[in-house]
Amino acid sequence: MCGKIEKAIVLAAGYGTRLKPLTDRMPKPLVPVAGKPMIEYALEKLEAYGIKEIVINVSHLKEQLIAYAGSFQSLTIRISEEAEPLETGGGLKKALPLLGSEPFFTINSDIIWMDGQEGALKRLADCWDETRMDILLLTQSRAKAVGYDKGEDHLFIKPGNTFGWRQQEAPYIIAGLGIIHPKVFSAAPDGKFSVKVLWHRALHQNRLACLPHNGRWFQTGTLDDIKTAEEHMKGE
């Protein structure tokens, strides 16, 4: 059973410029990590959790991703096409007609996570409380985040909005996985924009929450990241 969350979107429309020259001929989500396309890790986790309907947004070399999505017989995968990449926020907003009016999972296609005793998706769904939050983000201790470079994550993750904050694990980074309520897009801009616009707004309204991940986590945005992730994944 899916509990409270029944749909998900995997963000897969970017150019993947940090993975050139591979991404000149292959969309970034199809670049292999430890023998299978990086996007497949997210799809497998969603299927194991019980999600039956998944949206994938596509743009760069989209025909390859559309063909790949069609190979999953056990999942209903809907495609949101973008003439050019609309960034994370714009891509989510364009996909809303396929996602409906209920909260949904949103996942970056260039992350891989290993679950602890409880899966990250289940923990997020169990933590979700529509009366208290509009956005819930999974976080990871920066010291344990393989492939993380730098960013402004510290602006969003604070002791007051993070469940089970542990000072010895801080600082945390945003892990590219979460739940978002579609109502946050009612005042969102059109066209290209970063989802961080919505994070900032929710934070200022005290409607942004964070949940630390209990397992391992990898970002696979560069060739070096992929090699490092593959080394860590040996024996998993």
**DSSP β-bridge partners for residue 178:** 106, 137
Does the bond joining 21 to the residue before it have cis omega, within 30 degrees of 0?
A: yes
Residue 21: inside a domain, yes or no?
Answer: yes
Q: Domain of 140: which CATH number?
A: 3.90.550.10
Residues counted in the chain: 236
Tokens representing residue 48 in the block: 């194991």
Q: Which of 56, 87, 84, 60 is nearest to 70 (CA)?
A: 56
Name the residue range of residue 100's domain: 7-233
Buried b (16+ CB within 10 A) or exposed e, 164-179: ebeeebbebbbbbbbb
Total of domains in the chain: 1
Asked if the structure places residue 1 within a domain, the reply is: no
Does the pLDDT at position 105 exceed 50?
Answer: yes
Q: Quick check: 1 pLDDT over 50?
A: no
- Condensed to tens digits (0 to 9), the pLDDT of residues 193-215 reads 999 999 999 999 999 999 999 99
| Lowest mean per-residue pLDDT among 54-58, 70-74, 119-123, 175-179 | 70-74
| Within-domain flag for 162 | yes
Does residue 89 fall inside a structural domain? yes
DSSP state, residue 189: P
Q: Report if residue 122 sits inside a domain.
A: yes
Instruction: Report the pLDDT averaged over residues 40-64.
Output: 94
The verdict on residue 2 lying in a domain is no
- Of the listed ranges 21-25, 116-120, 172-176, the one predicted with least confidence: 116-120
Flag whether 125 is in a domain. yes
User: Does residue 49 belong to any structural domain of this protein?
Assistant: yes
Rounded Cα distance, 56 and 8, in Å: 9
The whole model's pTM is what? Answer: 0.93
